[in-house]
């Protein structure tokens, strides 16, 4: 196990413990983004994490979880956490931490599509699947978003969306930059 893998494993366990200390029981935690697809760099990558809890969260529980996570030092650039209740259908999340509501739904659909593809049965046992049609539509929306933004942050997302729309396969941001 590399140092980065150890840091990831340790931090994910700390996030799960913080969520459970705030009240909700965690069913599973899934690494997404570069930690799943490859190219994770602890010094520059966000940690994309999806957590499934047993029951929907009320507003007070959402606030307790967010407060618990605020207290947890992040050893990476940023934690991007999405919490779903067991049986939910993405993008119907309980908590989007730290960004909150208002992000385009295509992000959640695409993360779910990658999660169900790569995590397989365990993901699909806990969350309702997103369809190929929904995934394609979300990739088209991401491409439109990236082209509208037109900056260096959006460029790899545009390349990733185009690649998916042409091949049906996801590549990392690092691969998109090559």
* pLDDT tens track for 17-67: 999 999 999 999 999 988 888 878 888 888 999 999 999 999 999 999 999
- Give the confidence band of 146 by pLDDT, cuts at 50, 70, 90: very high
Q: Is the pLDDT of residue 120 over 70?
A: no
Compute the C-alpha angle 118/90/177, nearest 5°.
50
Cα dihedral value 36, 42, 44, 46, nearest 10: 50
Is residue 55 within 8 A of residue 87, CB to CB? The reply is no
CA distance 20 to 103: 25
State whether residue 7 is helix, strand or coil: helix
pTM as predicted: 0.92
Crossing angle for the helix pair 59-70 and 3-21, nearest 10 degrees?
A: 140
Pick 7 or 85 by higher pLDDT.
Answer: 85
Average pLDDT over residues 6-16: 92
What does the mean pLDDT of the chain come to? 91
The pair of three-digit structure tokens given for residue 66, joined into one six-digit string: 């967010």
- Give the angle subtended at the CA of 118 by the CAs of 116 and 122, to the nearest 5°: 55
Query: Is residue 109 scored above 80 in pLDDT?
Result: yes
Q: Is the pLDDT of residue 173 over 70?
A: yes
- Asked if pLDDT for residue 94 goes beyond 80, the answer is yes
The one-character DSSP state at 78 is E
Is the pLDDT confidence value at 97 over 90?
Answer: yes
pLDDT value for 10 = 93
Q: Is the peptide bond before 53 cis (omega within 30 degrees of 0)?
A: no
**CATH fold label, 3-102:** Beta Polymerase; domain 2 (3.30.460)
């Amino acid at each position: 196990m590399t140092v980065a893998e150890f840091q990831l494993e340790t931090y994910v366990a700390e996030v799960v413990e913080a969520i459970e200390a705030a009240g909700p029981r965690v069913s599973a935690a899934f690494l997404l983004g570069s930690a799943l697809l490859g190219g994770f760099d602890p010094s520059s990558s966000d940690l994309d994490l999806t957590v499934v809890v047993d029951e929907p969260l009320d507003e007070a529980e959402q606030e307790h979880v967010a407060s618990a996570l605020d207290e947890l030092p992040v050893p990476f650039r940023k934690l991007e956490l999405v919490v779903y209740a067991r049986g939910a259908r993405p993008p119907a999340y309980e908590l989007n931490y730290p960004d909150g509501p208002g992000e385009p739904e295509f992000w959640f659909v695409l993360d779910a599509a990658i999660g169900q593809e790569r995590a397989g049965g365990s993901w699909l046992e806990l969350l309702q699947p997103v369809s190929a049609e929904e995934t394609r539509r979300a990739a088209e929306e991401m491409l439109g978003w990236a082209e509208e933004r037109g900056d260096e942050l959006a460029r790899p997302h545009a390349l990733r969306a185009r690649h998916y729309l042409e091949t049906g396969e996801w590549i990392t941001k690092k691969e998109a930059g090559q």
